[in-house]
Amino acid sequence: MKEVIRTGTAPAPFQGAPYSQAIKANGLVFVSGQLALKPDHAEIVGDNITDQTEQVLTNLRAILEAAGSGIDQLVKTTVFLQSLDDFPAMNEVYRQHVGDQPPARSTVEVAKLPSGALVEIEAVALA
């Protein structure tokens, strides 16, 4: 059985797209890719990778908490960067959030992200 996770403390699906913030199933939480959006704003927050990564991880944390999980329960993340030149700065913010037992992770450079975002992160965590 799967459970749809929805919280008002993180942005709703981007432009009303047909996906959930997260799905909880079989002891795991699958979080959709998060952008640097605030729940009440339709525009990307911050114009640099540091500010955007901070907001993305804030959104990720809110969704995980709504699912009864947390950042400390992450097992896998995928980071999408507009430019791999932003890797060191993104990595520094990321490190501050995931602690001393970081999840497995992939990081890839993509041609474009929605709304001109510099970073998007999706995740899987223990429920």
Each residue's pLDDT tens digit in the chain (127 positions)? 999 999 999 999 877 789 999 999 999 999 999 999 998 877 899 999 999 999 999 999 999 999 999 999 999 999 999 999 999 999 999 999 999 999 999 999 999 999 999 999 999 999 9
Quick check: 31 and 63 in contact, CB under 8 A?
A: yes
Distance set, CA 81 to CA 9, 71, 120, 123 (Å)? 24, 20, 7, 15
Tokens of 29: 């939480």
Domains in the chain: boundaries: 2-126
Q: Which helix H or strand E contains 119, and what residues bound it? A: strand 119-126
- What is the Cβ-side half-sphere exposure of residue 28, based on CA atoms within 13 angstroms? 11
Distance set, CA 21 to CA 31, 35, 63, 92, 100 (Å)? 6, 11, 7, 25, 26
Question: What class has domain 2-126?
Answer: alpha beta
